[in-house]
Amino acid sequence: MSQDILEQVGYLGLASRLKRLADRLQAEAVSVFDNRAYPIQTTHFPLIAALEASGPLSVSAAVEATGVSQPAITRIHNALQGMGLTDTRAVEGDNRQKEIFLTPAGQALIAEMRASFWPAVRDAAQQLCAFPDHDLLAEISLVESRLAEHPLSARIEHVANPAGLEIVEFTDDLAPHFDRISREWVEEMFRLEAEDIAMIENPRAKVIDKGGTILFVRDPELGIIGTCALMPMEDGGVELTKMGVLSSARGRRAGDFLMRQILKRAREMKVQDLFLLTNSKCEAAIRLYEKYGFRHDAEIMRRYGHRYERCDVTMSYAMPTPN
């Protein structure tokens, strides 16, 4: 029996697994609708249920009642109106506002569904979700409440960046930070070479004016603690270079944060030939590069390795093809 990858990856695939489950339930509901010759679709249910429960609703009230977007409510109403099941009229006392209401045909169809179909669906779904120690609907409501308080996107960013680090773009006022951070990590293990000095003393000329970028990491407590550059080469390659974090700020996951941001910037710049040059002594840095997808590449050594005496490791990153 083949493995279910979404089950195997657990919470990593939560949204995809819920989408798959919803798609399956929707498909089976469509089959039931077809068997009963109902003209509506399952996607129409939120608006129908809201109108059945509350009576006529403005579009904004329908959005609030269903949690469905305004364009979706409009599309649903247009479809139902085309079948003669809903219509609109001016709100009493305010001709500028319109409300959606069920027509007699809509009311008749809902009456039939409420009489036999909805109870059968409710009971079948309840049986499907019956667990001795769990109330699935209550747990879904709890998840929805938690998402309303703190969206999943914000939760992901907090987990990935608990220190609250921020990216700061290069300005000439920040050039001394580029110099200080770069000198610290290079001189910790090596001696500064001519290529180092030319770049850290002239970052605008060597990087920015050539179409490259320099990013800084700012810690809310410590200020600027790290930097990294993307430097274009004459042959079209782009070097990820001078990536470093102050030794006094290590342990705050600034390297991971900076790597994510510099790869994002490379994609935004539509870089196609991304590489880096390093030394085998930089074991922690090499592990970071490998973790994020860089691969050892002898061709990069042939093309660029001569630029630094200390270079004995060269790596490249396979960028996606731009649209």
In this structure, what CATH number is given to the domain that contains residue 58?
1.10.10.10
The CATH code of the domain that includes 172 is 3.40.630.30
pLDDT of residue 3: 83
pLDDT of residue 134: 83
85 falls within a domain: yes
141 falls within a domain: yes
Which two structure tokens, joined as six digits, stand for 279? 């030394």
Whether 290 and 223 map to the same domain: the answer is yes
SS3 at position 272: coil
pLDDT of residue 91: 83
List, in sequence order, the alpha helices (H) in the chain.
5-8, 14-35, 45-54, 59-66, 70-82, 104-112, 118-128, 136-149, 152-160, 175-189, 194-201, 203-206, 254-268, 283-291, 298-304
20 falls within a domain: no
Residue 46, domain extent: 36-149
Whether 94 and 171 map to the same domain: the answer is no
240 falls within a domain: yes
Q: At residue 304, what are phi and psi to the nearest 5 degrees?
A: -130, -10
Q: Quote the Cα angle for 222-198-241, to 5°.
A: 55
With the CA atoms of 276, 278, 283 and 284 taken in that order, what torsion angle do they form, in degrees rounded to the nearest 10? -50
pLDDT of residue 133: 84
Whether 131 and 192 map to the same domain: the answer is no
Beta bridge partners of 169: 215
pLDDT of residue 245: 95
Whether 50 and 134 map to the same domain: the answer is yes
Tokens 């085309």 label which residue? Answer: 82
DSSP string, 186-216: HHHHS---HHHHHHHH-HHHHTGGGT-EEEE
111 falls within a domain: yes
9 falls within a domain: no
Q: Report pLDDT digits (tens) over 234-263.
A: 999 999 999 999 999 988 899 999 999 999
60 falls within a domain: yes
Whether 57 and 188 map to the same domain: the answer is no
pLDDT of residue 1: 53
Beta bridge partners of 49: none
User: 115, 149, 183 — which closes off a domain?
Assistant: 149
User: 122, 149, 176 — which closes off a domain?
Assistant: 149
Whether 99 and 142 map to the same domain: the answer is yes
Whether 266 and 225 map to the same domain: the answer is yes
Give the count of domains, the chain.
2
Q: Which residue, among 250, 246, 247, 243, has the nearest Cα to 163 in the 3D structure?
A: 250
Whether 171 and 141 map to the same domain: the answer is no
48 falls within a domain: yes
Q: Which residue, among 97, 117, 120, 100, has the nearest Cα to 109 in the 3D structure?
A: 117
User: 118, 149, 180 — which closes off a domain?
Assistant: 149
Whether 177 and 251 map to the same domain: the answer is yes
pLDDT of residue 232: 96
Whether 140 and 224 map to the same domain: the answer is no
Q: How many CB atoms lie within 10 A of CB 68?
A: 17
Q: How many CA atoms lie within 13 A of 184 on its CB side?
A: 17
pLDDT of residue 135: 86
Whether 144 and 173 map to the same domain: the answer is no
pLDDT of residue 128: 87
What residue type is 136 in one-letter code? L
Q: Which residues contact 257 (CB under 8 A, 6 or more apart)?
A: 160, 161, 163, 165, 217
What is the mean pLDDT of each successive set of 10 residues along the chain, which is 323 residues long? 84 92 89 89 92 93 94 95 93 83 93 89 88 86 91 90 94 97 94 94 96 97 96 95 93 92 95 96 95 95 94 94 75
Whether 46 and 131 map to the same domain: the answer is yes
